[in-house]
Structure 1
């Protein structure tokens, strides 16, 4: 009953609260099963979703030159990029829907997502996951689909194994209900159990009943959300930034190597429409190679994956001879934690301790009291750490920092085990890394003493 009473005013409250808290800005920008079982979901005349053929060089595993991602110190590698600067509140709407689709992929129920920026200003996101449930909700006495779209925190995202997802992202955790409340119009189509369901909404309220019909392909499943941002809230002209959204999609494709994401921007002039497919079977290894495409690596990309205590850890790292700062990117449940957190702390501590220990064993240091600092061992390092955590503890509404203390311990332990084993078996790689670190130490020493001499 409390949920029912809260729902009566939730839509208007959400529209007011979100408009004042997240979406007031002087300048708005809009800047994740086999594919065959649901291929029909992605070609629907109603939204003109048919994809143009493009040259194969523009499709799978394309590794372009860096456009928005540049190296910088620590986890702020993206923070000053053009993608981050153009991050806007209307863009959050796109990410909320996209992250829902990626959650299906992370759970193993989807392997394809399509994102379309349509010429009429709407956005359409389609996945081939399980499809949002449509059964009667026991509390609201409405369909589960309508409940998810109109009641805050009604989705089964968090809570580990007791929820619908072991791990999930979601930029703000507000989900479909807030996107719906902030949309002038929203259309949802669900394919599930051999049926197609369709319903339309306006500013958070259903304007049609839930309609259903049989589909010819009983194996089809998935969800499509198409929405038009509300001009009463987004009073400035809305223009979704293609490059910024493409940057986020590329991240998600790197982080989820079994996921294929097609991104399309329609134009009133068909020749100006853009279609790009993102698929990186190499995952984080390809991500590091992409980031280091204009550098000189000291060795092949090192990578490992470990599942421990319910936490999944993916690490890829590489030192480069012509880089003099580090690039460390952290992700938790596919959400980029630009302010770092316990996973980044675990990486830094483990790398520093492990390399110092191996340096002493190798007798590279003649002086017993010499010790490499974290700054020295990370010079020239590009490292990406992605963790999947059942119950993430984020700091801040936008989830910029991971706070789970258990993550640091697990990351620290297994990086040490992996690096120790690998570098002892590959002494040439160890020597090249330690030589660069020692040179960094010497430079610091000379600069310090030169300033003292003055």
Structure 2
């Protein structure tokens, strides 16, 4: 009598024997689990395939072979990568009996970067790049110029064979190997690879990003000075061609990445170190034997500090980007904090009880961290994190030595720049400590927190951030009128006394000690500088409301400087405005039907036009009133002309060009007086003296 088959509660068989195991041969594993090799099957994975082929060509350039790489995005959906390097070997590989080309494109973990004889420092290390691209392509064609001949071979989803014609849909016949196609000029070498990503593998919406590709090529051109990289996009008709070539290396890259005005030149921290690593090596009998290998590590870092607060850091190992860092970045970070702390101990910049942390040093820093070594250990094929342990200690050693030399230099220029950086770091430390004291005011207001806000704030009742408005009002006299004119449901008022601190000249610490600046930051509730959180802002609109005279203009400029320098996301989001109060009021004696009794004009030109228009129409009016300040209006007039959303006019502050805005604020409000004097003198000649209201 047959026995019943055992099943699990879910109804599945409990049988589990060797015959149930699936053994994936060759490139089957790649097609079965593509995400393991290229990260994903969306756009990111599609781009990674291109990176694999580009990295191979760059490795050749690093070795001194070839100075030109070309990438083509073709109209038929294929991608081509051409180089002018040595060309993939075409002779027979003794163990497999296959040509070098077929080994490279069909065998995982096969390449010229294992034994150490072909490449000293390379990005492609696992020997799977070309074979993975081949496995994930519906068609791949390779041509190699080598030995005065052009050799060629084709594959379909990793299987060698021949296509009856062009394109990925041409009839395919499996079989065949590398063939000599034609003669080539003597001395001409290189490799040309064209492939069609397999639609069975990649998502239908996956599409190559031209901008991302350009960014990668531009980045590589900085990292390999003298290497020309060209991308041609012919997917949409007329080809778009762009070439990247930079001779300045990572110093030029650092300047390119920097988002702010520099306070130091680009500093290069360079050095070479050695370490011993135990790795498995193939012996003469084909066995893997643990072997101690001496490694050379080259560290080259470009760093500079600017006036801003953002930190920009890019890290690379053998020209391969490591966006998630790794041991080289760990060594750099630790050494930064250690070195600055040690140097500051020998100065009088830090007071008792003060200390600097990593975030203080990173404020306004732009850095490019590069290391080169043979066979680095990466975490996964996507190479996003460097894992070689010894690199952290040795990178830190180089940074300690070179950065200490810069910070303690006795040369005039270097000494002045080092002092500026040290003062910037100390200021950042003090600002961080001062910011802690405002933490309560940086949260969304609620019943418990309202008592921590400045008593002079006249807050609104609504908690709807998008609807709430904060008017920063010049003077207590205007505050009384504004308080009667506002809609207290959604309009809040914060008075300031006269002209606030010019923060373009002052340090962060001085800014936070200034009562007016501190109150504004506290009331806005989103922090300042690096800690600014746009989502924490308590008001949807910030509106400067000052008199329509030169003093009022100066106050608005000082406020704009504060917001641009310390709360810039608010400006970039279009949430900062300037109120536009009227300059004149016409009171009509005999207004015609449909005309208001009171008319307002906002500048002298408009006043002249309105007076002429009323006279022409025969409308009589009393002597127009000219407002010298907001305090001269009554509450009804201020509400109607300046505060009521139905009738008011607001001027939005925007930032279309950050660099130009930085230059303008530095010209108008910075420490350098001479350019501002020239600006005022030039402007004086353009001013009509008759228009001055004296």
Q: TM-score range by the shorter chain?
A: 0.7 to 0.9
Indicate the SS of the match to 1:416: helix
Range that drifts further, 409-418 or 381-390: 409-418
Structure 2 partner of 1:344: 329
Give SS of 1:125's match: strand
Q: Which moved more, 1:432-441 or 1:387-396?
A: 387-396
Higher relative contact order (CA 8 A, sep 6+): 1
Write the mapping of 1:196-345 to structure 2, written as runs, cut at 5 A.
196-208=150-162, 209-212=177-180, 215-234=183-202, 236-270=204-238, 273-292=239-258, 294-309=259-274, 310-321=296-307, 323-345=308-330
CA RMSD of aligned residues (A): 2.4
Q: Are residues 420 and 205 of structure 1, via their aligned partners in 2, closer, same or farther at CA, if it must alter by over 3 Å?
A: same
Superposed, 1:158-169 pairs within 5 Å as 158-159=114-115, 161=116, 163-169=117-123
**Could you give the per-residue CA deviations for residues 215-256 of structure 1, whole angstroms, max 9, x where no partner exists?**
452111111110011222235155321111111112211211
Structure 2: give runs of 5+ residues left out of the alignment.
1-22, 163-176, 275-295, 442-451, 453-694
* TM superposition shift of 1:284: 0.8
Tell me the CA shift for residue 316 of structure 1.
0.4
Residue 363 of structure 2: aligned partner: 379
Partner of 2:402: 418
1:243-271, CA deviations, whole angstroms, 9 ceiling, x for partnerless residues?
A: 1111111221121113111111114522x
Match of residue 365 from structure 1: 350
Contact between 1:183 and 1:227, CA under 8 Å: does it hold in 2?
Answer: yes
Distance 1:370 1:24 in 2: 47
Worse-matched range after superposition: 130-139 or 234-243: 234-243
Given candidates 14, 26, 31, the residue that maps to 2:30 is 14
User: Using the alignment, how far apart are the partners of 1:357 and 1:103 within structure 2?
Assistant: 39
* Counterpart Cα distance in 2 of 1:89 and 1:16: 14
Change in CA separation of 1:8 and 1:382 when aligned onto 2, cut-off 3 Å: closer
When residues 213 and 236 of structure 1 are mapped into structure 2, their CA distance, relative to the original with a 3 A threshold, is closer
Structure 1 residue 305: deviation in Å? 3.2
User: d(CA) in 2 for partners of 1:446 and 1:434?
Assistant: 18
In the superposition, the TM-score normalised over structure 2's length comes to: 0.52
| Equivalent position SS for 2:247 | coil
The corresponding residue for 2:171 is none
Find the aligned partners of 2:106 and 2:48 in 1 and give their Cα distance: 18
Q: Residue 431 of structure 1: SS of its match in structure 2?
A: helix
Contact 2:349 / 2:426 at 8 angstroms: preserved in 1? Answer: no
User: In the TM superposition, what is the alpha-carbon distance from 1:156 to its structure 2 partner?
Assistant: 2.0
TM-score by length of 1: 0.78
Query: Structure 2 vs 1, CA of residues 370 and 189 (structure 1 numbering), >3 Å: closer, same or farther?
Result: same
Match of 2:138 among 184, 189, 192: 184
| Number of matched pairs | 381
- Which residue of structure 1 lines up, in the alignment, with residue 424 of structure 2? 436
* Alpha carbons 2:109, 2:126 under 8 Å: kept: no
Rg: which structure is higher?
2
Counterpart of 1:231 in 2: which secondary structure?
A: coil
Q: Give the deviation of 1:306 after TM superposition.
A: 2.5
| 8 Å contact kept, 2:104–2:130 | yes
Equivalent residues of 2:301, 2:367 under 8 A apart: yes
1:167, distance to aligned residue in structure 2 (A): 1.8
Change (3 A) 1:229 1:130: same
Residue 343 of structure 1, CA deviation: 0.9
* Contact kept? 2:111, 2:127, Cα under 8 Å: no
The counterpart of 1:406, out of the listed 365, 390, 398, is 390
Write the mapping of 1:74-113 to structure 2, written as runs, cut at 5 A.
88-113=44-69
User: Are the aligned partners of 1:148 and 1:154 in contact in 2 as well (CA < 8 Å)?
Assistant: yes
Question: What is the DSSP-based 3-state SS (H/G/I as helix, E as strand, rest coil) of the residue aligned with 1:306?
Answer: strand
Q: Deviations over 1:163-193 (max 9, x none)?
A: 4211221397521112111111111011112
- Distance, in Å, in 2 between the alignment partners of 1:319 and 1:397 is 34
